[in-house]
Amino acid sequence: MFTGIIESTATIVNLQKDKSNLQITFENKLATEFKIDQSVSHNGVCLTVVAINGMEYKVTAIQETLDKTSLSEWQVGDLVNLERAMKLDARLDGHIVQGHVDQIATCTDVLEKNGSWVFTFEYDRTPQNVTIEKGSICINGVSLTVVDSKKSSFSVAIIPYTYKHTNFNKYQKGTIVNLEFDVIGKYVKRLLNL
């Protein structure tokens, strides 16, 4: 389980197909603190560390993950948001994030607002995936608050710290991102539809 508070960004240094799987190697200073079999959120996708070599580490994405996330769009040199699993004795600064991506979305607008930014995303609306204004959403692993909610789109406001310390500063119209909708909202929606 994660909180959506990004610790660092990692750079993709190698992508290698292995049957239907994808072996991804990242470079990041946190790698020296990782352990084999540790779960780490990469742009909101929970992936298991399978190898470590200095400041580089490797994860494996299976076909199911590739089908439901933006991982198939990743390229060598891309920056990816990182978060280690939360500690039970720590504050929950973001919101409850599972690292299980619900679907992808496309950035449709980036508006600079004199020191902050508003990003708009469009997604394929399914009955269980909804946003509400002032509700939580996880975009590429970042816990955010929805500022404008429509049927199949929403906007979020980004402060300078988040813009600088995540890969939001690389997003433009057409950028594909991973979405994880609020788990509590998903359960409530499911219960109301029974």
Q: What CATH number is given to the structural domain containing 49?
A: 2.40.30.20
Final residue belonging to a domain, choices 33, 53, 84: 84
Report how far residue 78's alpha carbon sits from residue 28's, in angstroms, rounded to the nearest whole number.
Answer: 12
- 133 and 61 share one domain: no
Instruction: Give the residue numbers spanning the domain of 18.
Output: 8-84
Whether residue 152 lies inside any domain: the answer is: yes
Residue 44 pLDDT level (bands cut at 50, 70, 90): very high
Strand (E) or helix (H) holding 66: helix 63-68
Residue in this structure with the two tokens 């009955």, named with its chain if needed: 127
Residue in this structure with the two tokens 């909610």, named with its chain if needed: 149
Q: Are 125 and 116 in contact (CB under 8 A)?
A: no
Once rounded to an integer, what is the mean pLDDT over residues 81-106?
89
Once rounded to an integer, what is the mean pLDDT over residues 137-160?
96
154 pairs with which residues across the strands? 121, 149
Report how far residue 82's alpha carbon sits from residue 21's, in angstroms, rounded to the nearest whole number.
Answer: 21
Residue in this structure with the two tokens 């939360």, named with its chain if needed: 86
What does the pLDDT read at residue 177? 98
Whether residue 94 lies inside any domain: the answer is: no
Higher-pLDDT residue of 194 and 98 is: 98
* pLDDT per position as a tens digit, 151-175: 899 999 999 999 999 999 999 999 9
- 14 and 45 share one domain: yes
How many domains would you assign to the chain? 2
Whether residue 3 lies inside any domain: the answer is: no
What does the pLDDT read at residue 189? 79
Statement: the pTM of the whole predicted model exceeds 0.85:
yes
Report how far residue 10's alpha carbon sits from residue 26's, in angstroms, rounded to the nearest whole number.
Answer: 6
Once rounded to an integer, what is the mean pLDDT over residues 29-54?
97
Report how far residue 163's alpha carbon sits from residue 117's, in angstroms, rounded to the nearest whole number.
Answer: 8
Report how far residue 27's alpha carbon sits from residue 78's, in angstroms, rounded to the nearest whole number.
Answer: 11
- 57 and 114 share one domain: no
In this predicted structure, the answer to whether residue 118 has a pLDDT above a threshold of 70 is yes
In this predicted structure, the answer to whether residue 83 has a pLDDT above a threshold of 70 is yes
Report how far residue 104's alpha carbon sits from residue 181's, in angstroms, rounded to the nearest whole number.
Answer: 11
HEC string for 41-64: EECCEEEEEEEEECCEEEEEECHH
In this predicted structure, the answer to whether residue 86 has a pLDDT above a threshold of 70 is yes
Once rounded to an integer, what is the mean pLDDT over residues 177-188?
90
- 66 and 112 share one domain: no
- 79 and 107 share one domain: no
What does the pLDDT read at residue 194? 60
Whether residue 90 lies inside any domain: the answer is: no
What does the pLDDT read at residue 128? 75
